[in-house]
């Protein structure tokens, strides 16, 4: 199981790098668009659409990496006051609910992606890239997010909840 966990985590980290690259390319395209539009006074056809798709793709493929570093938003108003064992159970329940949601999203995203690929749909713009290319980050990123949730859940299930020193809890 440890080998699978390492592979999933490595894939999550790799997609984190892909997400960072997508954001960097989106910034460069914005600069190019501004230069084209205001310096050369040429029209921009694909830049705005590309930037939107790149930012959404970065969000979707970067989500598994964010989970590995514990960066997803969580509200600890209740869990901060729970005993370690109850906190552990609450985290497992939250992980299972999140995993269930992500599994449904991955499945429906795959269905949408496959339909766009099979029917050769394109976006409704002048640029008109194939829609399956735009949709691919949804099932890919969310499927890996499901696997990363499984890694996190099995990792939590195999470790007893540790006592947290309240004076050090804010430093994490």
pLDDT tens track for 63-93: 999 999 988 887 778 888 889 899 889 889 9
Q: How many domains does the chain have?
A: 1
Give the Cα separation of 12 and 126 in Å (integer).
34
Mean pLDDT of 88-114: 95
Note whether residue 126 is domain-resident. yes
Instruction: Give yes or no for residue 170 having a pLDDT over 80.
Output: no
Residue 65's pLDDT is 97
CA dihedral 163, 165, 171, 172 (to 10 degrees): 0
Note whether residue 171 is domain-resident. no
Note whether residue 137 is domain-resident. yes
Mean pLDDT of 97-103: 96
- Alpha carbon distances (Å) from 152 to 32, 78, 84, 131: 41, 21, 17, 32
- For 35-47, write each residue's pLDDT tens digit: 999 999 998 889 9
Residue 15 structural domain = 2-165
User: Which residues neighbour 78 within 8 Å (Cβ) at sequence distance 6 or greater?
Assistant: 90
With beta carbons less than 8 A apart as the criterion, state whether 52 and 134 touch.
Answer: no
Note whether residue 170 is domain-resident. no
Mean pLDDT of 28-53: 94
With beta carbons less than 8 A apart as the criterion, state whether 9 and 148 touch.
Answer: yes
Note whether residue 131 is domain-resident. yes
User: Which residues neighbour 63 within 8 Å (Cβ) at sequence distance 6 or greater?
Assistant: 72, 141, 142, 145
Mean pLDDT of 111-133: 95
Note whether residue 28 is domain-resident. yes
- CA angle 5/170/152 to nearest 5° reads 15
pTM confidence score: 0.83
Residue 72's pLDDT is 84
Note whether residue 24 is domain-resident. yes
Q: Which residue has the higher pLDDT, 138 or 78?
A: 138
With beta carbons less than 8 A apart as the criterion, state whether 145 and 64 touch.
Answer: yes
């Amino acid at each position: 199981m440890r080998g699978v966990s390492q592979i999933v985590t490595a894939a999550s980290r790799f997609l984190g790098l892909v997400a960072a690259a997508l954001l960097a390319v989106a910034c460069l395209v914005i600069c190019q668009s501004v230069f084209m539009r205001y310096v050369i006074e040429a029209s921009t056809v694909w830049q705005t659409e590309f930037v939107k798709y790149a930012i959404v793709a970065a969000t979707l493929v970067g989500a598994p990496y964010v989970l590995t570093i514990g960066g997803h938003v969580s509200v600890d108003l209740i869990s901060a006051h729970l005993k370690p064992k109850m906190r552990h159970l609450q985290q497992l329940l939250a992980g299972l609910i999140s995993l269930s949601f992500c599994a449904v999203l991955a499945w429906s995203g795959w269905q949408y992606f496959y339909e766009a690929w099979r029917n050769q749909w394109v976006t409704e713009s002048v640029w008109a890239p194939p829609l399956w290319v735009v949709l691919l980050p949804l099932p890919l990123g969310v499927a890996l997010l499901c696997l990363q949730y499984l890694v996190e859940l099995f990792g939590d299930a195999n470790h007893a909840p540790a006592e947290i020193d309240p004076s050090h809890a804010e430093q994490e």
